[in-house]
Structure 1
Amino acid sequence: MLLRPGADRPAGHRRFGQADTIRPGDHRSRRQSGEVRPITVADSPVVPNPNGLDAHRLFASPDVEVVHIALPAGHALVRHAAPVDTLFYIITGIGTVESDAGSVRAEAGTLVPHPKETFHRVRNETRDRLEFLVIKAPRPVVPPRFDATANQTQPEGDNP
């Protein structure tokens, strides 16, 4: 259909660059409709977690899960092993990504991969907030295994 400038457009047709209002939850229906829509942390569901941290599921499909985590200064995730490959992408701040194989200090713009069933955690040893993405592929269908001997959800100095 060729539309001339000023011509009426059929329902559902928009001009190039004309945006819709994005509402919470739209990212779920986006996969079904085939539309491409931005996803924000503010509009994403909170992920309950044993760390009690600010975590939001940005995207989930059978192939991949993406979670945004904000880690306060001096805090760390509970040491755990995921049943799928896990990638940590640092957005802001500097964090230490620990695993059975050792530790890596990672700053903004760094991607740190971990193979499935490898115990790992992220620590924020700075005075600034650390934000990162946790990308799991494929999306896990069973929960992670937690290391019962290492519960590091509070600042390091506050643990008994």
Structure 2
Amino acid sequence: MIVVKVGEAERIDNPHGVDVKKLIGMENVQILHVTLKPGEGLKKHATPVDAFLYVIKGKGMVEVGDEKEEVRKATLVYLPKKVPHSVENTGSLEMKFLVIKVG
């Protein structure tokens, strides 16, 4: 059994300068917990693998390719590999979400 507590997870450096903790890092899956303060975001970037974003708390704007959508708690977004995407906290409270990278 693998049990990971977010508060005890390894914080990782990232080019976005935001709070990212690695919950799982295996050969074919990586799960990250991201916290964005109001106004913070993940700059437009692409990943070499498919990924999913699952919103735990807060609200924000997600852009995937040429599409934009406001997301809130309990929303899942598919992020196809090699397609540029970004996330911005547009709310007045923290936004927390998981990024699950597969492949």
> So what's the TM-score if we normalise by structure 2?
0.95
Shift of the alpha carbon at 1:48? 0.6
- Unaligned 5+ segments in structure 2 are none
**Residues in 2 aligned to 1:113 and 1:82: alpha-carbon distance in whole angstroms:** 12
- Unaligned 5+ segments in structure 1 are 1-35, 139-160
**Residues in 1 aligned to 2:29 and 2:66: alpha-carbon distance in whole angstroms:** 24
Letter paired with 1:73: P
Tell me, yes or no, if structure 1 residue 134 matches structure 2 residue 81: no
The residue correspondences of 1:3-18 to structure 2 (distance < 5 A) are none
Shift of the alpha carbon at 1:37? 3.7
For residue 156 of structure 1, what is the aligned residue in structure 2? none
**Residues in 2 aligned to 1:102 and 1:134: alpha-carbon distance in whole angstroms:** 19
Q: Is the 8 A contact 2:18 2:41 kept in 1?
A: no
Q: Is the 8 A contact 2:9 2:23 kept in 1?
A: yes
Identity %: 34
Tell me, yes or no, if structure 1 residue 42 matches structure 2 residue 2: no
RMSD: 0.9
For residue 43 of structure 2, what is the aligned residue in structure 1? 78
**Residues in 2 aligned to 1:112 and 1:55: alpha-carbon distance in whole angstroms:** 18
Q: Which 4+ runs in 1 deviate beyond 4 A? A: none
The residue correspondences of 1:1-160 to structure 2 (distance < 5 A) are 36-138=1-103
Shift of the alpha carbon at 1:101? 3.0
Q: How many residues align?
A: 103
> Which deviations, in whole Å up to 9, do the C-alpha atoms of 1:3-38 show, x marking residues without a partner?
xxxxxxxxxxxxxxxxxxxxxxxxxxxxxxxxx142
Shift of the alpha carbon at 1:49? 0.3
For CA contacts below 8 A with separation 6 or more, give which structure has more relative contact order: 2
> Which deviations, in whole Å up to 9, do the C-alpha atoms of 1:73-131 show, x marking residues without a partner?
01111110000001000000011111213111111111000110000011111111000
**Residues in 2 aligned to 1:72 and 1:63: alpha-carbon distance in whole angstroms:** 29
Letter paired with 1:99: V
Matched position secondary structure for 2:42 = coil
**Which of these two proteins has the greater Rg computed from alpha carbons?**
1
